[in-house]
Structure 1
C-alpha cells in the first residue's frame, strides 16, 4: 500500500506500476480500494492500475479536522490525486458513489481523463441511492458516537444482508464488507469523517441531476456497464447515461448486483480492457 499527502489528509492507494495505459478506479461509500482487487488482477499485465482509498468510510487514516468532505470536494480530491501522481490520459472507472464522483469530474474539465467507465452508480435523482443510501443518510444525522453504535449491528451477517444494508449491493462480497467496516467500527476519526461526508451529501440532493445536464458536453469515449439485476441503481439509469453521452457504449452484465467488481470481477475486467484497448 502506498501513501500520498493531499490537501485533505493522507490517502492510501494501490499502484501496480508499469508503462501500460493508466486505469484509475474509484470505489463507493463505506468501501476501500480492495473492492477492485480481482478486476485489477486481471488487468495489471497490460495496464497500470491505480486505486485510491478515498475518505468514504472505510479509509484507515482520518482526514484533517478542517477538510471539506462534500461530494464536489471529494471529486476535487480525486482530481488532485491524479495531478500529484502526474497521471495523464487516464481511463477513470467508478462504481456506486465512485461513479457519482466520475460524473462530477466529467461535468467539469477532467483534463487528465481520456475516457471513463461508469459501472452501476448513483445517477440523476437516485441520490441517495435505494434503501441502503437512504438508511445511511438518515443515520448520518446522528452524532459520530451514536452513528458508530448503530453500525455495531453490522457485525451480524443477517443484518449486513438486509436490503437496507449491503444485501442488495452484492451477491457474493460479504467478506469484503466485513473488512471495510473495521475502521469505522474501531476509529473515532473515521466515524467523524463519515458523518461529515453523509451530512454534506444529504445537503445536495440534486447534485447529480445538475451534473447530468453537462454530460452531453463530454466528448470523450465512455463505457456504461450496468448490472441487469441491480436493485439499488436502476438499469434504466445506465441506459439514460449512455444515451446522454455522445461517445458511449453500453453493456449490461447478468448475475450481479451493484458491486460488479465483487460479483463479476472477471467480466468487468474484460469489458474495461476491451473498451480501453479499442478506444
Structure 2
C-alpha cells in the first residue's frame, strides 16, 4: 500500500505532460504511486502514457469532466495522502513529498496542504487564491479557506469523510466547496511555502468565455450547497456584481446572463445536495476572510488586468 498517491490531471497537453511525468517517474516506489487522469484528450495522450509509463495508473473518464476530473483519480488513489497537480506543474520532488508527510504527521487535524506556486517563466508567485496579500504572506505558512486544486495534498481519510469535488461544477469554485466541507468537519487547511512548485503556463494562455460563465454559475451553486440563508445573500451580493463587471469589461456579458439562467434552472438539483455548514464554520470563514487585503489590491489585480489565464 503506497503512502502517497500523486494524481495528475491532463487534457491535450502531451508535451508538457511528458516533462512532468519524467520528473515523477523518478519518485515512483513502493510508497509513491502516480495516477494520470486523461480528460478525453485527442492528441494521443492515452497511448503515450500507456507506452511510456506503464507503471503509472491511467484513468480516462468517458467524457471531459473539466477540473473535477481529478475526482476520478482521487477515487482510485490508494495512498494515505493524495497529492493533486495539473499537467503543467513542475518541481514536485522527494524533498517536497517528505515535507508534506512530516506536516501531516505532526498535526492530526491537518486536512489539506496548499503549495506555493510560482510562474515558471517569471519566478513570481501565481495561482494565489488565499485570503491574504501574497506580497506579504507568500513566504509564511498560515491557515486558509481556499484550495489550490492543481497544487495541493490531502489526508485521504478526510476525503473519505467529506467527499470530493462536486461533479456538476466542471471548473471554478470546486476548491472552495470542498474547503468549506473540510473545515466544517473540524480540519484545517494550510498554505505553506515549504513546498514550492512551478506553473509552466502555455505561452498562449487561453482567455475565453469559460471563467466568466463558470465563475458566475458556480457562485450560486457553491452558496446553495453549503451556506446558510443570510450568508447565501451576502455571498451573492458581493460576488455577482464583480463577475458582472468583468464580463462587461471583456465582452462576455451574454455568458454571464446565461450563467445566471443556468444556475437558477438547475437550482432544484443543487437544493437536493444542500448540506449547510455550521454557524461555527461560518464564523471561522468570516474570521479567515478578515485577513483579505483591501479593495485597492483587488482593483489592481482584477479590474485593471485584462482577462484571465486558464
* TM-score of the aligned structures, taking structure 2 as reference length: 0.28
Please identify the structure whose Cα radius of gyration is greater: 2
Name the structure, 1 or 2, with higher relative contact order (CA <8 Å, separation 6+). Answer: 1
* TM-score of the aligned structures, taking structure 1 as reference length: 0.30
